[in-house]
Structure 1
Amino acid sequence: MKLLFDFNSEEIQREAENPMARIPVVIIADTSSSMNGEKINTLNKEVEKFFYEINKNSRNEILKYSLDLAVLGFKYDTQSRETYPTIVNNFNIMEYQNVPKFNAFGHTPLGATVNAAIDMLEKRKEMYKLGGIQYYQPMLVIISDGDPTDNIVNASKRAMELSLNRKLSVYPVIVGNDGNLDNLQKFTPNKISKRIRTEDLPQVFKWLVSSVKKVSESSIDFDISISITKDWKDIING
């Protein structure tokens, strides 16, 4: 299934009119059937709080125009009975984003979804360069609750290589007691994959707000990922 995220000259011009350096972030939300109930309800609630914190809190005013967010989930095709990655929110600054609403159904094509996220990030960086837009190191946050139902070899290799070259920071969490944490660990060279309880999901989004705020206040040439990763280790207790 091909995801469409091409851009045109008008979009590049519009984006270039925003003088803020961008912080590209992709959130992958597991919306498989195993997330149904408390997990998906909590995720929806915390994502809504995250959007409110960015857009309504005057302390984070700069983030409305610098945080460039995309959200991916899964979509179940009733005809083929397959589950595919889907773009829930395409890249845009938070000023123009709508709060996503997740429904849980289908399987967990995490490999395909990570590949789609990386493709989107590469395309977005191309747009930044064409528009002369400065940007910080991209971040990928993976929130899942079980094992991938597809092959993750290619996706994990791409994510690992980008991370090692300091072109991407990946932060994976697994919600609940199911699933093998080692699968998520394959997406990052840092030993930071965490197993958390459903009630710990607020910590993930509090950390994300704090992290993008730190990035926005740092020099474009300064690698702040070490500090953010330390915060992740300290805050997310699994």
Structure 2
Amino acid sequence: MLLLDTSGSMYGEPINALNRGISTFKEDVIKDTQASLSVELAIITFGDTVKLAQDFITVDEFNPPKLEASGVTPMGEAMEKALILLETRKRVYKENGIGYYRPWIFLITDGAPTDNWQIPAEMVREAEAQKRCLFFTVAVEGADMDKLKQIGDGFLTVRPVDGDLQLLFTPDKGEYINETTFITSSNAFEEMQVKVLEKPCSFICASTDGLEKVAINFKDWQPFPPFFNPLEEYMKETVETHEDDQYIIDFLNSERLNARTNDDKTLLLALLTESN
């Protein structure tokens, strides 16, 4: 599910970039036959009003809407509407005996909420804690810079074009070992880390903190190349990663890796290709 900020502050290039991104998303997913028939997408926009711009539909039947920017930022109302819509959809699946994966919610915005969002934020935290959904945020900025933001205790490593691996942010641990700052936390914007990259990235690896021990050298907070290099080579050599993903599955389930960590091991990989 996409929660898209269409408030007035998104006017101009941000809303244009958002429209292009939605179209690119469909183009990329439609290339994967299985995903195009099994992934369902719904879109909620929030600006002048909170609106269900697209009810759940398979990607192959999805026609990207033309978004326009105006109004304030009722983010809290949009989050609450998203959770209600997800639970309604899951109930339909259950009643018809259809299995499903944990749904993902992506919040795409360039600013802070203007409504009373604290209660919806608590609802999101509760839903995540109960494994009813996964919640992510993406910040839209100017078209000429690549601005990456992180909130939480995972890590994000990139390789700029013709450059070396970089750990973009020191993972946020908070005062206590099990303390995390969520995007829905009241102090989220104060804790947010921001970095501007001068060059595009040829390789990106994002992960939850379960892989930190094997991926990062804690002495100098530098990426550990023997962890990342094989993953980057796998991405370069694999044409259809969705069909040939056994390497990643075996890696994440390996006894050697699990002996080093018993925490969550969510992994996201991206590679810049000539066609991009």
TM range, smaller chain: 0.5 to 0.7
3-state SS, counterpart of residue 28 of structure 2: helix
- The match for 2:4 among 29, 43, 54 is 29
3-state SS, counterpart of residue 121 of structure 1: helix
Is contact 1:139–1:168 with CA below 8 Å preserved after alignment? Answer: yes
Would the alpha carbon gap of residues 103 and 194 (structure 1) be closer, same or farther in structure 2, given more than 3 Å must change?
farther
Does residue 231 in structure 1 map to residue 268 in structure 2?
Answer: yes
Q: Distance in 2 between matches of 1:67 and 1:163?
A: 20
How many Å apart are 1:194 and its aligned residue?
Answer: 6.9
How many Å apart are 1:167 and its aligned residue?
Answer: 1.4
Q: Counterpart in 2 of 1:69?
A: 41
Q: Counterpart in 1 of 2:173?
A: none
Tell me the matched-pair count. Answer: 178
Residues 117-172 of structure 1 show CA distances to partners (whole Å, capped at 9, x for unaligned) of: 00000000000011111000011101111110101111111110111111111011
* Counterpart code for 1:87: L
3-state SS, counterpart of residue 91 of structure 1: strand
Would the alpha carbon gap of residues 27 and 194 (structure 1) be closer, same or farther in structure 2, given more than 3 Å must change?
farther
Is contact 2:122–2:184 with CA below 8 Å preserved after alignment? Answer: no
CA-based RMSD: 3.8
Does residue 186 in structure 1 map to residue 161 in structure 2?
Answer: no
Q: When you count helix as a share of all residues, which structure comes out higher? A: 1
Would the alpha carbon gap of residues 186 and 167 (structure 1) be closer, same or farther in structure 2, given more than 3 Å must change?
same
Q: Which has the larger radius of gyration?
A: 2
* Counterpart code for 2:44: L
Matches within 5 A, 1:83-102: 84-102=49-67
Normalising by structure 2, we get a TM-score of 0.55
Give unmatched runs, 5+ long, in structure 2.
142-146, 152-180, 207-234, 236-241, 254-263, 272-276
* Counterpart code for 2:43: V
- The match for 1:49 among 5, 24, 31 is 24
Normalising by structure 1, we get a TM-score of 0.64
Q: When you count strand as a share of all residues, which structure comes out higher? A: 2
Q: Distance in 2 between matches of 1:128 and 1:193?
A: 37
* Counterpart code for 2:21: E
Give unmatched runs, 5+ long, in structure 1.
1-25, 77-83
Q: Distance in 2 between matches of 1:68 and 1:48?
A: 15
Is contact 1:173–1:184 with CA below 8 Å preserved after alignment? Answer: no
Q: Distance in 2 between matches of 1:117 and 1:196?
A: 29
Does residue 143 in structure 1 map to residue 143 in structure 2?
Answer: no
Runs (4+) of structure 1 exceeding 6 A deviation are none
